[in-house]
Structures are given as C-alpha cells and as structure tokens.
Structure 1
Amino acid sequence: MPLPKIAALLCILIALPAFYGQGIQSLDSRAPRTAPLLPELQREIRADMAFLADDELHGRGSATRDEHIAALFAASQFQSLGLEPGGDNGTFLQKTLLPNPLPADIKQRLSKFEDTPRRETWNAIAILRGTTSPNEVILLTAHLDHLGISPAVNGDTIYNGADDDASGTTAVLALAHIFATGRHPSRTIVFALFGSEEIGGFGNRAFLAHPPVPLTSIITDLEFEMIGRPDPAVPAGTLWLTGFNRTNLGPELTRHGAHLVNDPHFGQHFFRRSDNYALALQGIIAQTISSFGLHKDYHQPSDKLRTIDFTHMTNAISSMVAPINWLSNTTWKPQWYLGRKPWHQAIIK
C-alpha cells in the first residue's frame, strides 16, 4: 500500500476515539436498555462497514497486516468506549503465532492467495464487567478476516468480505457501543473478534488457550456471521440460529423478543462452520446468528459494500438488543438438549 494511504488509515484510527466519544452522547441514555434510534445506528453501521470492506484493507486476508489493521480498528473503538481490555498485557489485542510450518492442507489453500507471509494472527477483545454477577459471562463474537487477495474474477482480485464477515464484526462493534454506553448489565459481556477464521480458526484457538475469563464462566456465545442481507428462505424480518434444536437458547431468546428461527439450510452444516463450533466442543452453548441466503457472492470479489441491505442489517442488530439485554441480566442459563451436544453423532438440525 502506498505510504499516503497508510498514513490516511492511521489518521482514521487516531481519530476514532473522538468520533465515538461524540456518538456516545446520542446513544447513551443510562436508561433501561433499548436499541438506539435506527437512523443513528445505521450511520454507525455504514461507517464501520465502509472501513472494514474498503479496497484499502485488501479483503482483510487471514493473518495479514490488513487483518491486523481491522483488529486495531476494533481495539480503538473498544478503548474509546471505556471497556476493559481483554487482550495481551493490558491491551485489547491478542496475538498468536501460527504453526510453522502451516499444515499442508492450509498451505495448499493459501497457495492461490496473495504471496504474503502468514506468521501471526490477531483477536480484538474487550470486557464489560457485570455489576452483580460478574463471574457469569455472555460472549458476543464474530471473525475479522476474509480471503484477502485471491484469483481475479472479472478483473477484480480483492475479496472484500462485506457480508462475510464485516457484517458480523460490525454487529459486535455496534452492540459493544450500545451496551457500554447504557446501564451496565448484571452479567459480564465479553466482545471478541477473531482472526484467521477462514484458514482454520486460529483466532478462536488462541482465545480458548488464553481466555480473558475462565471458560467455565461463559454462559453462552452468540456468533454473528453474515447478517448483511436477508435470507429469502425465512420470513421477512427474521434471522436464523444454527443449532436451534440442540439447545433451549434460541426458543428462550425468541420468547424475549428475538426474531430467530431455525437454520433453514441444514445440509450446509453451518453449526460447524464458524468460530462458535470450537467453543461448543468445549461444552459452551455457542451458536451462530445469520441471515446468509446462499447468495452467489459468497467467497467472491463481488461480496462488496454495494450488496449490503443496510435497512435489514440495522434492523437485525437492533432486534437483538433487548434479548441480549435480558440474557445479560437474568439468572437463567441455557442448556443442551439431551443427546444433542456437538460431540454426539446423531444428525441434528
């Protein structure tokens, strides 16, 4: 990247605390948690998406400097909100080295991408400490990375990953803003954005190896993955939850206002295809919220900002505020249904 463009990105990162400090006043009511006004929320969502899915981030390739910039972008927002750092050495970043050499299958997958050294990956993690039950944790997650620079399609080599998963990253950032600037919840909320999901989940592995809170304290993880466009397979205005029939989390969130239905794409095995699955294998109730309708832009350079339905995305994020607020203030805990933990062999939707 030319030096002037690098300087411009750094200026944006430096300016973010002031920008979000101004935005806090518009969203901060210190009242019972409700979603902010939708036009204000949509402006924030558009701004975050415009940064994360811009060509200058080269598709946020896993374990690249562009993924690192995306992590710094998130960390700067967490810091500006006054959240507690959950990364290394009192910072909001968690860095981990990749295996050297990389496994053969990953090396083969990366061979068609930009010839970039892949030595380390980054998570961005922040903590909103609970007031009365701080040792019970709600985890909100997404992945920072996408495919980066890859073979050209119609002359375009940048796989921007607007829906996958700038949309999920933006959802977590928006929820961090909403919850950090209102009445603090009873339970702790951890906001974690993982690196290198696309090449094998190395970010979630680092989180599990060095968690900012004890893993046994995590009540549930909600992963946000590809919520930038509506799915025509489900009713308008709804999202779907992977593993809906594995736990009682989805039905209970629905009872408290979540517009969630069962994943309609059972044959795609989406429950096992995001960072939530690594946490679920540890016994944590970890499921993914999405509205991916199997669109043709998946893992293509055409997954760009212009394809995002910002009204849908804004309403999707807004619709989860009240249910997450309830979850972060209740004493209720989700449970696996009998025989439906991820290591059981039965085929379960």
Structure 2
Amino acid sequence: MRHFLLLASLLSASAAAAKDAPAVPVQTLKDVTQTLSSDAYEGRKPTTPAEDKTVAYIVERFKAAGLKPGKDGWFQPVPLVEITAQNVSPLSFTGGKAPVSMAYRSDMVVWTFRVTPKIAVKDSDVVFVGYGINAPERGWNDYAGLDVKGKTVVILVNDPDWQSPERTGLFEGKAMTYYGRWTYKYEEAARQGAAAAIIVHDTEPAAYGWGVVQSSNAGPKLELDEKGDHADQSAAAGWMQLAKAKELFASAGQDFDALSAAAKQKGFKAVPLGVKASVSFDNTIKRQASKNVIGILPGSAAPNDYVLYTAHWDHLGHCDAVKGDGICNGARDNATGVAGLVALAEMYGKAGPAKRTTVFMAVTAEESGLLGSRYYAEHPVYPLGQTVGGVNMDVLDVSGKTKDFVVTGAGKSELEDLIKPLAAAQGRVIEPEPNPERGSYYRSDHFSFAKLGVPMLDGGAGEDLVIGGEAAGHAATLDYIANRYHKPQDEYDPKWNWDGAVQDLSLYYQLGRQLGDSGAWPNWYKTAEFRAVRDASRAEAK
C-alpha cells in the first residue's frame, strides 16, 4: 500500500510538473558547453589555475539563473592531494625463462595512492589472482588460503562471467558488478596487503582502449587528503598491456589464456608465477583544496528537505597529445552535464521554487575516482537523511532524439517507477543498458550518494535513434568511446543535435519537480544493496 500511495502522490505531482514545465534553453546548453570545453579552460583539471576560471563561470551562471549560494557559500572545499609520479623505471620481471621489461606509458602505467616521495618495489614475488575478488556472499574468494603481503598481484579486469550474453549468474552475467571495477580490485589488493596490484588491460572487458588508461593515469593523480596519507594502500597500482601480460606468463612457463579461462570458474586457486617484480618512481606532492560548487533554490514549504541535481565539472586537463593537440577538453564529458545543470537552474528560476529545496551541485574530481561527490556524501552540507533523491548527469546525448531511455543500474530504486510514465509521455520506452559490461553504474557521481543511501537516477538517451535507428545510435556510441572519450578529440561541435538532450532534461526537470512538490520519500527496492543504509538514515532524520 505504501508503494501504491507513493506512486499516486508522485504521479499527481508529475502531471502538474509536466503541464507547467518551461522549455529547455538549448542556447544555454550550447553556450555553457562551448565555453567550458574551450582551450581557454585547459581541460578543467582540478587544483590547476583552470579550476578558478571554471568554478567562477559556474557561479556566474548559477547567479544569473536566480540561484542562491549554499549554506556555507557557493563553494564546499574538497581537500585533495596531487601525486605525480616521476622518473618511473620500467616494470621488470626476473626469474623466468627470460627477463620481461615493460616501458612506462607504452607497455604499462603505474602510480601510488600513498602520499610519499619515493616508491620502490623490489624483487616482489608475483601471483596471478584471477579476477582479484573476495565476495563471501557469493561464495567466491580469489585470495582464499593465500598470503600476498609484500607480493605483486596480477589481476584480470571485469567479472568472471563478463562474456555471458545474459544478465544472470553469480556476478550478474554481462552486467558488471562493483567487483569488476578497477577501483574495487585495488581496494581488495590493499586489504590483502599486496605491495603492488597490476590489472591486465583488455579492451573488451575494460570497455575502453589503452589510450584511455594512458591518458587517465600517466600524469598527476588526485586523492582525498586524509589522515594517514593512505599508508594502508598498496605501494604501487597500475595496468599492463595484454600482449605484455602474455609475454610475462610465457616467461613464467604459464599459458595466459588457459589461466584466464580457469579464473572464470568458482574455486579457482591463485597461481604463483615464480618470478619477481620490481618498479620504482619518485613522487612530487602538492596539497591543495578543490571546490564543489553549490547553488540552491530554497523550498517554499519544506525548505529542510532537499532534491539534488549533480554533474561533475572536471576533466583531465593537459594530456598526451594526439596530432599535436594536448588538451583533453571534455566537451561531452562533462561540459554537457554542467550545461544541463545550468539549464535546469534556469528552468526552475522561471517556474519558481518547489516546495522542497532544490540543490544544484557541480562536483570536482569525478575523473579521479568520484572524489568530489564522495567528499560531499561523507561531509554533507545538507543531511543525507533529509535528501529526497535526485538526478546525476554525466555526458548528455548530442546525436538526436531517441525512442528509448536507459536507466543505468536498473532494478535498484523506486525512482525508476517514476521515470517510466515520464518517458512514456514522450513516446519512449525504458530499456536495459545496451552495454552493462561497462559498469557505468559505478563510474559516476550518483554512486557516491547511493553507497550512503540517497536514491539518485542516472540515466539518459539510449541508442535507438528516431532518425537512423539502433544501428546509427550504436555506431555513434562506439565512435565516441573509440575516438573521443578521454582524448583531445572530445571537443565541442556546432553540428551536434541537441534534441536528445532536450528530451532527457525535460524528464530530469519533471522528476525533480515531482520529488520537490510532493511529500513522498522514494526508497531503494528491498533487494537493493543500499536499502539498509537508507532506512537507517531516514530513521535518524525522523
């Protein structure tokens, strides 16, 4: 009954929101995206001079839209430490049939989470730990009976059943779980005491090419500046090229393909390779706060309840040059998302405030591991127990209208019930992710809030284009990932078709308004892993 009443209340608010919804300001989308992705903003790298220019521009646009500063002002300081690896030695392996040497950037990338001026891993025993997963609730432990303290672990990317054509199985088949994400694999290796954790890059299960790995990791790395200087992390973390991994295994007298196949089976036992790894590098360390940008439209009736819109403002800054261009401008990723945030603020400004307070937040350091949103979630300006839910925007569609709307990580929260009738009113259908193996649910800022209980929608245009169909839509997705994503080629294009973004922003507006104008509190489904923490936070708020 509660679920039915929730839907009835929100659908009533939805009808009112749809009727009174202002038009999406397309020119704002174009202007903000073009400005933030211009070379003048140098790729919007946090803690660089480009940050000051970026956040000042966002505040300027928020003010013009009629927003007020957050409780503590326009900015929430996010303490970061920048660690830049220098003088990186080759990653070398000895003790096998022949020594194997991997050159920095071309064959491997390596860095540290530790805040220390020098890293040296010397003659560390190497162990292949399969997918590097310890999931007791699934009866799976690649570290069972294994002591890897001081050792180097080599890990496969994604989940054991990533090649399954279905979405069922121990690790949900082709739909990546958090166990498949590189972030988890380093976290678990550190918990196990590994001195170094190296993931084998394979384009299909990783969902991006080596160029993305290189541009994202072969430069300054940002981490939250916390007590202990991350001394509990492995000394070295990194990736190696697939071909070099095969060379390493052959030198160790092992068949990489055979061991990779064995690692997919429950009960797999880690395999010591009988070789030793060495790598060293220096670090330059810079401690400097970055900023989340927060603007609000105070609620007219329930100002202490909050509806949240988020988008990350940062990108990679200066990166490895391609055809002479060394700025990763991040036009779609995620100047478009910030443009959507500003456009929604303008729409709310025209329509007037909702009953609940609406929070518009442009977060920092998403590209460095969701650091800005994680910091806010762990140090909220507005209590998470009083945060109703919201929408995260990361890369808007610029390929045209679609017949479908895709919810990332579907099957988790009641927000999905609310978006379905809104999409249907546009003549669109809700479809499952066409590429769930990419693990998109764990790769953007909504995940920081979800882990602490706040239901956040992350979804957008699918691949079934009104003009061109699924073939054209899928081709556009593949082109973006292969040729633009995290590369200098992610630049503003005046020929983009914003019709799909307008569709999506209309949905985001209507969802936010119905959350803001009702008294309902959408929750996670009972089967979702975030339900318990949400129930606890709501109980505390009451």
For normalisation by structure 2, the TM-score amounts to: 0.52
Aligned partners of 1:52 and 1:166 also within 8 Å: yes
Query: How many residue pairs align between the two structures?
Result: 306
Is the contact made by 2:312 and 2:338 (CA closer than 8 Å) also made in structure 1? yes
| 1:298-318: CA deviation from partner (whole Å, max 9, x where unpaired) | 111111111743232233323
Q: 2:296 aligns with which of 127, 130, 155?
A: 127
- Structure 2 distance, partners of 1:63, 1:35, is 36
Q: Distance in 1 between matches of 2:296 and 2:419?
A: 22
Aligned CA-pair RMSD:
3.0
Amino acid of the residue matched to residue 97 of structure 1?
A: P
Q: 1:273 aligns with which of 423, 443, 449?
A: 443
Partner SS, residue 458 of structure 2 = strand
**Cα distance per residue 1:157-194 (max 9 Å; x no partner):** 11111111111111111101110232321111100110
Query: Which residue in 2 is equivalent to 1:140?
Result: 309
Q: Contact 1:256–1:326 at 8 Å: present in 2 too?
A: no
Structure 2 residue 311 is the aligned partner of structure 1 residue 303: no
Candidates 35, 48, 53, aligned match of 1:51: 35
CA drift at 1:221: 2.6
1:288 and 1:67 map into 2 onto residues whose CA distance is: 25
TM-superposed deviation, 1:286: 2.0
1:179 matched to 2:187? The reply is no
Tell me by how many angstroms 1:324 deviates. 2.5
* Residue correspondence of structure 1 range 166-205 to structure 2 within 5 A: 166-205=335-374
- Distance in 2 (CA, whole Å) between partners of 1:249 and 1:193 is 21
Deviation at 1:203, TM superposition (A): 1.2
Per-residue deviation, residues 97-147 of structure 1 (Å, max 9, x unmatched): 213768814999554369995622111101111112222211000100011
Range moving further from structure 2, 41-50 or 71-80: 71-80
Does the CA contact (< 8 Å) of 1:147 and 1:198 recur in 2?
yes
1:32 positional shift:
6.4
Gaps of 5+ in 1: 1-30, 345-349
Matches within 5 A, 1:155-304: 155-230=324-399, 236-257=402-423, 261-291=431-461, 293-294=477-478, 295=480, 296=482, 297-304=484-491
Structure 1 residue 51: Cα displacement: 0.7
Distance 2:291 2:285 in 1: 16
Contact 1:62 1:198 in 2 (8 A): no
> Match for residue 67 of structure 2?
83
The alignment-based identity, stated in percent, is 26
Does 247-256 or 259-268 show the bigger shift? 259-268
Change (3 A) 1:209 1:68: farther
Please give the alpha-carbon distance, in whole angstroms, between the structure 2 residues aligned to 1:249 and 1:343: 13
Return closer, same or farther for 1:315/1:291 CA change in 2, 3 Å cut-off: closer
State the one-letter code of the partner of 2:81.
P
Q: Which moved more, 1:216-225 or 1:262-271?
A: 262-271
For residue 43 of structure 1, report the CA deviation from its aligned partner: 1.2
Larger radius of gyration: 2
Aligned partner of 2:219 among 106, 112, 124: 112
Given the superposition, is the C-alpha separation of residues 54 and 76 from structure 1 closer, same or farther in structure 2, using an over 3 Å criterion?
Answer: same
Partners of 1:237 and 1:312 within 8 A in 2: no
Q: Is the 8 A contact 2:460 2:504 kept in 1?
A: no
- Alignment CA distance shift 1:237-1:166 (3 Å): farther
Question: Is the alpha carbon distance of 1:185 and 1:340 closer, same or farther for their aligned partners in structure 2, counting shifts above 3 Å?
Answer: same
Deviation of residue 64 (structure 1)?
A: 2.1
SS of the equivalent of 2:347 reads helix
Residue 94 of structure 1, aligned match among 58, 76, 96: 76
CA distance in 1, matches of 2:220, 2:489: 16
**Distance of 1:185 and 1:264 partners within structure 2:** 34
1:119 alignment partner, SS class: strand
Equivalent residues of 2:399, 2:498 under 8 A apart: no
The answer (yes or no) to whether the contact 2:21–2:351 under 8 Å persists in 1 is no
Counterpart among 43, 46, 52 of residue 62 in structure 1: 46
Contact 1:144/1:165 (<8 A) preserved: yes
Change (3 A) 1:239 1:304: farther
In structure 1, distance between residues paired with 2:48 and 2:444: 20
The 1:299–1:126 alpha-carbon spacing in structure 2 relative to 1, beyond 3 Å, is same
Q: Distance in 2 between matches of 1:100 and 1:44?
A: 33
- The amino acid across from 1:226 in the alignment is V
| CA contact 2:389–2:522 (8 Å) conserved in 1 | yes
Separation in 2, partners of 1:111, 1:120: 22
Aligned to 2:239: none
TM norm structure 1: 0.78
Query: For residue 34 of structure 1, what is the aligned residue in structure 2?
Result: 21
Give the drift of 1:63.
2.9
- Contact 1:64/1:116 (<8 A) preserved: no
**Residue 139 of structure 1 contacts residue 191 of structure 1 at CA under 8 Å; is this kept in 2?**
yes
Q: Which sections of structure 2, spanning at least 5 residues, go unmatched?
A: 1-17, 85-110, 116-213, 222-283, 463-476, 533-542
Task: Please tell me whether the aligned partners of residues 33 and 183 of structure 1 are also in contact (alpha carbons under 8 angstroms).
Answer: no
Task: Identify the range of structure 1 (143-152 vs 128-137) with the bigger mean alpha-carbon deviation.
Answer: 128-137
The Cα of 1:321 is off from its aligned counterpart by 2.4
Alignment-derived partner of residue 4 in structure 1: none
Which secondary structure does the structure 2 equivalent of 1:60 belong to?
coil
Letter in 1 for 2:47: A
Q: CA deviation at 1:156?
A: 1.2
Shift of 1:230: 4.0
CA distance in 1, matches of 2:403, 2:325: 32
Structure having the larger proportion of residues in strand: 2
Q: Is the 8 A contact 1:142 1:224 kept in 2?
A: yes
Q: Does residue 1:334 correspond to 2:318, yes or no?
A: no
Q: What amino acid does structure 2 have at the position aligned with 1:323?
A: L
